C-alpha cells in the first residue's frame, strides 16, 4: 500500500488508531444501525488492497476483508464489532456521546472502550503490516454490527459465508476489552457458557383467607427458586471458576393483598463452565421444576434459552504468541482468564483456535465511556507485533 492509494477525500490517516477510533465513534452505530462505521472501514481497507465483501444478513451489517490469497495455509484473523449499546440519557454525559472528544489524555464517547478502539487498533496494525512486510499468507478481518444485539446474524453470518466461499482463518484474535484495570493484565482463552431459564407456575386463584381452596403458584415458585439458588453446581475446573446461578426476577403482577394469584413467573441466569452443557443444565432445571410440581400440585413449565456454550482454547501456540507480544509492549505478563460474559469468540471457537485481548474495559456500556489515548497506540503495537511474529 502507498499513501497515494488512500482516497483523496479520506479525512484521516487510518494508520493512526486514535484518529480512526474517533472517526468510528462519530458514527452513531447503535445496534443494529450501521451508522457509517462499516462503510468507512470498507473504504479504508479497499484502498489498502484488501478484498472486501459486505456480508449483511437479515438487515444486519457485516464486513469481511482479506489481504492475501484465498485458502492460504496460514491466515491470521481479527474479529470485532462496530455496533454499540444505546447511550441512555444524553444529558447524563459530560460530553457528546458521539463526539469523540479528546481531553485529559482520554478519548470519550460510546464505543470508545467497547470496542471501536479495538477495531481501529487492529485495522491500523494490519494496514501497516501488509504495507511494510507483505506476509506469506493472508490477513483476515471480520467485523460485525450485531455483537451487542441478538448476535444471530453477525459473526455467525460471517462464518457461514466463509464456509460457503472457501475462506478460513487459521487462528483468530478477538479485540474485545479484556483488561479489568491495567493495560496488559489479562487476556481471555475461553468464556463461560450462558443460558437463561424462564419459569411459569400455574395454580388456582383464591381468597388469601382460605388458602386451602387455592393452589398458590407463588409459594411453589419460591420453593423452586430457593432450591435452584442454593444448589452448588460445581467448585470450578482447571480453567474456570465455579458455575453460578442467579435468580433475576419473580413476578406475579398481583395488585391485591388478599388474593392468591393464578400464576407466577420467574427467571434465572446461569453462567457455566466446561463441566456442563446447556442441554444438561436445561434438563436439570426441568427436573427440579417437575419435582416441585409433584410436591405442590402447581403446574410449572420452563423454557430455556442458551446464549452460548463454555469453551477454552488450551494454552499453547496462540496464547503464547499473544502473551509474549503483550509482555513486550506493556511489561506485564497477562493472566490467562475465562472470566466475564459472552463474546463472539464463542462462535469462532468452532472455526479455529481463538483468544481475546484488548483494552481496559472499566467504562464499557457506562455513561462517559472512555479509554486512554496512549493505550490505543499501545494496543496497535501489540497487534502489529503479533502479526510480525505469526508470519515470521
Question: Per the residue annotation, which of 34, 42, 83, 176 is the catalytic one?
Answer: 83
Q: Which long-range contacts (CB under 8 A, 24 or more apart) does 205-211 make?
A: 205/259, 205/260, 205/261, 205/262, 206/259, 206/260, 207/258, 207/259, 207/260, 208/257, 208/258, 208/259, 208/260, 209/258, 211/260
Per-position DSSP letters for 284-332, written without gaps between them: HHHHHHHHHHHHH--EEEEEEEEEE--EE--SSHHHHHHHHHHHHHHS-
Instruction: Spell out the residues 6+ positions from residue 160 whose beta carbon is closer than 8 angstroms to its own.
Output: none
Note if 182 is an active site residue.
Answer: no
> pLDDT > 70: what percent of the chain?
97
Peptide bond into 8 cis (omega under 30): no
Note if 176 is an active site residue.
Answer: no
Residue 206: name the closest of 215, 217, 195, 197 by CA.
215
Integer angstrom CA distances of residue 307 from 8, 156, 196, 269, 310: 44, 13, 8, 10, 10
Mean of the pLDDT values across residues 260-282? 97
pLDDT digits (tens, 9 = 90+) for 237-246: 999 999 999 9
Cell numbers linked to 184 = 496488559
Q: What is the pTM of this model?
A: 0.89
Question: Per the residue annotation, which of 147, 176, 274, 329 is the catalytic one?
Answer: 147
Sorted by where each starts, the structural domains of the chain and their CATH numbers stand as 3-191+310-390 (3.40.630.10), 193-308 (3.30.70.360)
The answer to whether 306 touches 343, Cβ cutoff 8 Å, is: no
Integer angstrom CA distances of residue 227 from 201, 224, 232, 247, 321: 15, 5, 10, 11, 44
pLDDT digits (tens, 9 = 90+) for 109-168: 999 999 999 999 999 999 999 999 888 999 999 999 999 999 999 999 999 999 999 999
pLDDT above 70 for 107: yes
Quickly tell me which residue has 489481504 as its cell.
Answer: 67
> Whole-number mean pLDDT of the chain?
95
**Distance between CA 183 and CA 79 in Å, rounded?**
20
Cell numbers linked to 282 = 436445561
pLDDT digits (tens, 9 = 90+) for 51-94: 999 999 999 999 999 999 888 889 999 999 999 999 999 999 99
Cell numbers linked to 255 = 395488585
Backbone angles phi, psi at 344, to 5 degrees: -70, -5
The answer to whether 42 touches 55, Cβ cutoff 8 Å, is: no
For residue 351, what pLDDT is reported? 97
Burial call 262-292: b when 16+ CB within 10 Å, e when fewer:
bbbebebbbbbbbebebeebbebbbebbeeb
The answer to whether 308 touches 194, Cβ cutoff 8 Å, is: yes
Mean of the pLDDT values across residues 343-366? 97
Amino acid at each position: 500500500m502507498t499513501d497515494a492509494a488512500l482516497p483523496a477525500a479520506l479525512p484521516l490517516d487510518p494508520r493512526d488508531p486514535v484518529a480512526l477510533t474517533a472517526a468510528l465513534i462519530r458514527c452513531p452505530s447503535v445496534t443494529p444501525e450501521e451508522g457509517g462505521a462499516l462503510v468507512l472501514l470498507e473504504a479504508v481497507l479497499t484502498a489498502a488492497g484488501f478484498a472486501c465483501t459486505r456480508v449483511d444478513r437479515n438487515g444486519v451489517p457485516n464486513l469481511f476483508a482479506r489481504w492475501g490469497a484465498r485458502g492460504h495455509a496460514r491466515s491470521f484473523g481479527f474479529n470485532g464489532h462496530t455496533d454499540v449499546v444505546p447511550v441512555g440519557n444524553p444529558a447524563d454525559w459530560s460530553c457528546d456521546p458521539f463526539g469523540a472528544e479528546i481531553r485529559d489524555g482520554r478519548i470519550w464517547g460510546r464505543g470508545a472502550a467497547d470496542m471501536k478502539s479495538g477495531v481501529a487498533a487492529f485495522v491500523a496494525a494490519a494496514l501497516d503490516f501488509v504495507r511494510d512486510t507483505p506476509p506469506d499468507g493472508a490477513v483476515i478481518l471480520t467485523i460485525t454490527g450485531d455483537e451487542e444485539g441478538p448476535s444471530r446474524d453477525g459473526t455467525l453470518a460471517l462464518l457461514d459465508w466463509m464456509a460457503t466461499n472457501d475462506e478460513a482463518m487459521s487462528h483468530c484474535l478477538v479485540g474485545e476489552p479484556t483488561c479489568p484495570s491495567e493495560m496488559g493484565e489479562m487476556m481471555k482463552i475461553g468464556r463461560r457458557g450462558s443460558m437463561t431459564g424462564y419459569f411459569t407456575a400455574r395454580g388456582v386463584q383464591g381468597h388469601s383467607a382460605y388458602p386451602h381452596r387455592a393452589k398458590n403458584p407463588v409459594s411453589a415458585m419460591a420453593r423452586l427458586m430457593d432450591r435452584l439458588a442454593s444448589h452448588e453446581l460445581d467448585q470450578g475446573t482447571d480453567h474456570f471458576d465455579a458455575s453460578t446461578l442467579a435468580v433475576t426476577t419473580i413476578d406475579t403482577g398481583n395488585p391485591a393483598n388478599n388474593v392468591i394469584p393464578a400464576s407466577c413467573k420467574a427467571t434465572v441466569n446461569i453462567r457455566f463452565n466446561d463441566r456442563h452443557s446447556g442441554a444438561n443444565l436445561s434438563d436439570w432445571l426441568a427436573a427440579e421444576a417437575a419435582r416441585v410440581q409433584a410436591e405442590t400440585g402447581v403446574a410449572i413449565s420452563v423454557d430455556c434459552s442458551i446464549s452460548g456454550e463454555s469453551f477454552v482454547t488450551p494454552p499453547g501456540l496462540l496464547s503464547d504468541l499473544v502473551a509474549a507480544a503483550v509482555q513486550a509492549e506493556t511489561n506485564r505478563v497477562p493472566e490467562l482468564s475465562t472470566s466475564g460474559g459472552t463474546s463472539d469468540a464463542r462462535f469462532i471457537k468452532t472455526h479455529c483456535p481463538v483468544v481475546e485481548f484488548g483494552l481496559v474495559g472499566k467504562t464499557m456500556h457506562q455513561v462517559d465511556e472512555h479509554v486512554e489515548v496512549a493505550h490505543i497506540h499501545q494496543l496497535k503495537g501489540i497487534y502489529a507485533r503479533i502479526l510480525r511474529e505469526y508470519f515470521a
